[in-house]
């Protein structure tokens, strides 16, 4: 049997019925994916079982799609190193983690359901932490979740974004190129099922900026992004019980979730220190090279932006 973590019966059933997983064939599928990686002269990728099975599950066991996602996952580091490399765990990283701007909550929605991720930007000082710092924090959490969170890999995730008490200056400093890159990375390279994004307490004076952000997102993500005028509106999609205690729910305390992720960041310190070596070398790629235009389509994209 492949060296992957045993999953719950509920998740195993979901993987079987929705992701085409056949338990006895998992080692064979992982071996096929690993063999393909070894044959690619341009690709230096991780090949441990837990990493590879995340891509197989995220692509419903289509080997072709899994190959493409793994290729993109590593190409981003070569094409856009400023954003996708140098994500090591530092004192600054740990200070940001302690603020908890992005927190996967302890309990998913149902045993086989998606992970709920709470995003909170209150208290984030952009004079101390840049949007790039926040961006890299999200990459770290996605990377750790690929290895640690079976609900996220099999059931996907739902993002609840709370913009309460966030100053207008925070929105005015938004980097549209960074936003575009993160949206494309989430769609093309992250092996999670695209979930919905629920925004609460969004200030009306920043709505124009939100519309710009929505235009930068891939179509699938944009269609699943909702702004809720009230908490009751949110509860139709994310029942109150699945929110943290600070929001009146039963899904743990925010402080405890922060502690959990502080420990995970420390656990993965060596992992991230060696991470930059895993990337593509486009000079060695056989066939069409990957570049910024093919990945992000950035050229001309901002000329097309229309904000009401």
pLDDT band for position 16 (50/70/90)? very high
pLDDT at 307 over 50: no
Residue 89 DSSP one-character state: -
The answer on pLDDT for 221 being more than 50 is yes
pLDDT of residue 303: 43
Domain boundaries, the chain: 9-84+277-296, 91-267
Question: What per-residue confidence (pLDDT) applies to 298?
Answer: 55
Pick the CATH number of 91-267 from 2.40.50.140, 3.40.50.720, 3.10.20.30, 3.40.525.10: 3.40.525.10
For residue 213, what pLDDT band results from cuts at 50, 70 and 90? confident
Q: Can you state the percent helix, strand and coil of the chain, rounding each to 5?
A: 55, 10, 40
Residue 305 has pLDDT above 70, yes or no: no
Burial class, 283, CB count within 10 angstroms (exposed 0-12 / middle 13-18 / buried 19+): exposed
The pLDDT mean for the chain works out to: 92
pLDDT in tens, 114-155: 999 999 999 899 999 999 999 999 999 999 999 999 999 999
Give all strands (DSSP E) within the chain, no chain letters: 102-104, 115-120, 157-162, 197-200, 225-228
Whether the predicted pLDDT of 214 surpasses 90: no
pLDDT for 68-107, tens place per residue?
999 999 999 999 999 999 999 999 999 999 999 999 999 9
Q: What is the pLDDT of residues 248-266, one digit of tens each?
A: 999 999 999 999 999 999 9
Question: Quick one: pLDDT at residue 300?
Answer: 41
Structure tokens at 172: 């005015």
How do residues 194-206 score in pLDDT, each as one tens digit? 789 999 999 988 8
pTM of the model: 0.92
| Residue 2, pLDDT score | 62
**pLDDT above 80 (res 1):** no
**Rounded mean pLDDT, 35-43:** 97
Burial, 50: exposed, middle or buried (Cβ in 10 Å; 0-12, 13-18, 19+)?
middle
How far, CA to CA in Å, does 192 sit from each of 110, 187, 226?
Answer: 17, 9, 19
Both tokens assigned to 10: 């509920």
Closest of 198, 207, 261 to residue 231, by C-alpha: 198
* Mean pLDDT of the 286-305 span: 70
Distance CA 22, CA 121 (A): 41
């Amino acid at each position: 049997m492949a060296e992957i973590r045993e999953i719950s019966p509920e998740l195993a059933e979901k993987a079987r019925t929705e992701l085409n997983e056949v338990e006895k064939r998992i080692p064979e599928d992982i071996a096929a994916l690993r063999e393909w990686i070894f044959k690619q002269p341009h690709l230096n990728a991780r090949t441990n079982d837990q990493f590879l099975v995340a891509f197989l599950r995220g692509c419903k066991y289509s080997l072709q799609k899994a190959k493409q996602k793994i290729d993109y996952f590593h190409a981003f580091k070569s094409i856009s190193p400023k954003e996708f490399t140098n994500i090591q765990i530092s004192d600054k990283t740990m200070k940001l983690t302690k603020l908890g701007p992005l927190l996967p909550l302890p309990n998913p929605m149902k045993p086989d359901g998606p992970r709920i991720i709470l995003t909170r930007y209150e208290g984030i000082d952009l004079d101390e932490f840049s949007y790039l710092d926040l961006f890299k924090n999200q990459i770290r959490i996605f990377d750790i979740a690929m290895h640690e969170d079976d609900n996220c890999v099999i059931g996907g995730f739902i993002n609840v974004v709370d913009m309460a008490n966030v100053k207008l200056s925070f929105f005015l400093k938004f980097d549209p190129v960074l936003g575009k890159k993160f949206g494309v990375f989430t769609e093309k390279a992250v092996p999670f099922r695209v979930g919905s994004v629920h925004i609460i307490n969004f200030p009306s004076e920043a709505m124009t900026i939100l519309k710009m952000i929505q235009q930068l997102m891939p179509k699938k993500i944009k269609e699943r992004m909702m702004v809720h005028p009230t908490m009751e509106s949110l509860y139709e999609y994310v029942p109150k019980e699945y929110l943290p205690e600070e929001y009146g729910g039963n899904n743990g305390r925010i402080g405890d979730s922060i502690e959990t992720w502080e420990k995970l960041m420390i656990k993965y310190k060596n992992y991230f220190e060696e991470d930059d070596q895993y990337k593509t070398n486009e000079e060695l790629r056989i066939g069409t090279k990957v570049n910024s235009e093919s990945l992000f389509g950035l050229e001309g994209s901002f000329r097309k932006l229309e904000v009401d």
